[in-house]
Structure 1
């Protein structure tokens, strides 16, 4: 073959050559055992305009099935031109920690629907305590007063019984008047800022005989005098007590403190000495409500008290 014939043959072959991407593809043979594979959907061309993006839909976006089994209408595009993905009106509308927790406002008690704002449910109000009738209130007060070991205030009784304090005071007065009119061996009276049952003074000898059994522990005369000075002059220092009595009273004060009848109540501003006063036990033992109920000293003073004071100077 000459050179010209060889060039003509190559030229014909080049003219008849078809690129591989333009060659027709032969269909794959299918058998009864091997199901035919579906052809992949055509991908959108590179460089397509945003307006044409909504024409390319995924197979899942072709039909929207309603939970009832009926068609939901027009299919929704996977992409919408000019609107970011997930900005529709579906469940993706509520985005954020509040929507994830089902509490849009973070207050609890929401509606449970994502994207819907709810309000806090008001806490249930506690049920009011039942109001006791007079007979039941009287019995409850008597039962409590029988077991207390120190005077109890009206406010404490009202809190325990869950009743109004305005009912407690009049009821206690009624109970006390009933005991007195009936002539019981005990009585109800105020003492140390509260209420407590006491035996009547006319039966004190029988009570002492039963409780003490002949063994009586009494305060000495010095202790009684010191206790009287503190009761009428409180708060008072040791030096002041010693000056009034004319003797050293340090040991006597220690005895009264150990018995629980006297206690320290701070220091004097000028000298820094300790101040002493009577305790609640002192009022309880004497059956007094406060130190204001102490009897006045004038009737117990001698007629020549001024002459005695001048003689001691």
Structure 2
């Protein structure tokens, strides 16, 4: 498959951005309709799949991102002397699970579920690019709402939030305490090579 001029423009935008690019944004660049932009991006993605090279195009919700394949992560890390980030703490994993399954949520909601102060943990997740602010909720005091990011999807090998593991039913969690969450996640923030293995119980 050879890319036409418009597809090469999309390829250049993805390469130069380094961040997820939405179909809506590309549609503005190409001066075309959003469905057309999706079609162009999908063709670019198929092109890289066909080439089976060191680069691939990931789909993250309605965004596309050009990345190196995880197979080459150790070599890239060695060449650039990149150190693995410290793994997330159990508290961070619990907070991340709560936000992922209930977003948008406030810090107070997270603290209500966990039963302990969680403000600093939420801030840590924001610093690591896994969670971000998403406006304010129409509640007393208009608290800040938090949602997961495209980086969260990339790190856990998900294309969208619909691919999150299904939560156990209430019957499965009869023995869980009120406002409890138990989670376990395998995580590699640098390369996204590990996949989410999350088991959570909310009641």
Q: TM-score range, shorter-chain basis?
A: 0.5 to 0.7
Flag the structure with higher strand content.
2
Distance 1:140 1:264 in 2: 30
> Does the 8 A contact of 1:194 with 1:289 survive in 2?
no
Q: What is the CA distance between 1:143 and its match in structure 2?
A: 1.9
Query: CA distance change for structure 1 residues 177 and 221 in 2, over 3 Å: closer, same or farther?
Result: same
Q: What is the CA distance between 1:285 and its match in structure 2?
A: 4.0
**1:178 aligns to 2:47 (yes or no):** yes
> Does the 8 A contact of 2:153 with 2:161 survive in 1?
no
| Aligned positions, number | 177
The one of 160, 172, 177 equivalent to 1:309 is 177
RCO comparison, higher one (Cα < 8 Å, 6+) = 2
Q: Which has the larger radius of gyration?
A: 1
Distance 1:174 1:264 in 2: 31
For residues 168-206 of structure 1, the C-alpha deviation after alignment (integer angstroms, 9 at most, x for no partner) is 332322222232233222211322422221222333333
Distance 1:166 1:240 in 2: 37
Residue number in structure 2 paired with 1:114: none
Residue number in structure 1 paired with 2:13: 144
> Does the 8 A contact of 1:176 with 1:187 survive in 2?
yes
Distance 1:201 1:249 in 2: 32
Query: CA distance change for structure 1 residues 283 and 253 in 2, over 3 Å: closer, same or farther?
Result: closer
**Any stretches of 5+ residues in structure 2 without a counterpart?**
181-202
- CA RMSD in angstroms, aligned pairs only: 3.5
SS, match of residue 308 in structure 1: coil
TM-score (norm 1): 0.46
> Does the 8 A contact of 1:262 with 1:278 survive in 2?
yes
Q: What is the CA distance between 1:308 and its match in structure 2?
A: 3.2
Q: What is the CA distance between 1:232 and its match in structure 2?
A: 0.9
**1:291 aligns to 2:161 (yes or no):** yes
Query: CA distance change for structure 1 residues 306 and 164 in 2, over 3 Å: closer, same or farther?
Result: closer
**1:263 aligns to 2:133 (yes or no):** yes
For residues 261-298 of structure 1, the C-alpha deviation after alignment (integer angstroms, 9 at most, x for no partner) is 232532452x5472432253544643545433433233
> Does the 8 A contact of 2:107 with 2:119 survive in 1?
yes
SS, match of residue 236 in structure 1: coil
Residue number in structure 2 paired with 1:73: none
SS, match of residue 309 in structure 1: coil
